[in-house]
Amino acid sequence: MNKKDAVKIVETLKEMYPDAKCSLDFSTPFEMLVSVVLSAQCTDERVNKTTPNIFNKYSTPQDFANMDIKLLEELIHPCGFYKTKAKNLKKTAEILVEKYDGIVPNNMKDLMSLPGVGRKSANVIMLEAFNSPQGIAVDTHCKRIANRLGFSKESEPEKIEQDLLKVIPKEYYKDVNHIFIWHGRNVCTSQKPKCDSCKLQQYCKFYKYNKYL
């Protein structure tokens, strides 16, 4: 994939999804962090149905640090893997209170040092909470599209991200995080992708391979 084609792909997707944005609901950086942690192996829709009941009473690192772990587990139970997520969220809250004066850090290194926050999550938090995209969050949709279009042959998210960053200019990082997800949900689905109606056919290795089988 060369930079010229990469930009054309991004521009095309921007035209296809002009309203693409983050689908997680939040009002503060900490709420964003909690939502991202809960979204692992869970749909954003489910997270958004779960968090209002939490944030109405517990919305700060201090609240989470002081909360009984069993209560936290109960509150986030609908999002799955609740024991691990509760443990990570409580520990993260304690770290934020003790080390960062209750403030979510606005840099990748410190974010990635928090329990339950990997590079993908840190990318999302930097973009959504601080409007400062540092890279491209590689979720299942992004991975699938990057592989199918030919951006990357890698399977590991961090390696895929590095391949994407080589050809996508930084000014597009914010858009890519959203439009790849929307395209993955609407057209380039895991099962039965809508290739015949996709506007990226001319760039897509997956389409060309299957077309000429």
Q: Is the pLDDT of residue 213 over 70?
A: no
- What is the pLDDT at residue 55? 98
Task: Identify the CA nearest to 127 among candidates 141, 111, 103.
Answer: 111
pLDDT digits (tens, 9 = 90+) for 171-212: 999 999 899 999 999 999 999 999 999 999 999 999 998 876
- Active-site annotation holds for 70: no
Q: What average pLDDT is seen over the chain?
A: 96
Q: What pLDDT, on the 0 to 100 scale, is given for residue 187?
A: 97
- What pLDDT shows up at residue 212? 65
> Residues with Cβ < 8 Å from 111, sequence gap 6 or more?
104, 105, 117, 121, 122, 125, 126
Give CA–CA dist 119/108, Å, rounded.
8
Residue 112 and residue 118 in contact, taking contact as beta carbons nearer than 8 Å: yes
Question: What is residue 198's predicted lDDT score, i.e. its pLDDT?
Answer: 96
Looking at domain 29-130, its CATH class is mainly alpha
Residue among 4, 49, 68, 120 flagged as catalytic: 120
pLDDT confidence tier of residue 37, bands split at 50, 70 and 90 = very high
List the one residue out of 150, 143, 147, 148 whose CA is nearest residue 181: 143
Identified catalytic residue from 85, 90, 139, 143: 139
Q: What ranges do the domains of the chain cover?
A: 3-20+136-211, 29-130
76 with 50: CB under 8 angstroms? yes
Q: What is the mean pLDDT of residues 122-141?
A: 96
Let me know the angle formed at the C-alpha of 28 by 72 and 22, rounded to the nearest 5 degrees: 95
**Prediction pTM value:** 0.92
CATH level 2 (architecture), domain 3-20+136-211: Orthogonal Bundle (1.10)
Mean pLDDT of 112-117: 97
Q: What is the DSSP letter of 196?
A: G
Residue 162 makes CB contacts below 8 A (sequence gap 6+) with none
For 44-85, write each residue's pLDDT tens digit. 999 999 999 999 999 999 999 999 999 999 999 999 999 999
For this structure, is 211 an active site residue?
A: no
Rounded percentage of the chain residues whose pLDDT exceeds 70: 99
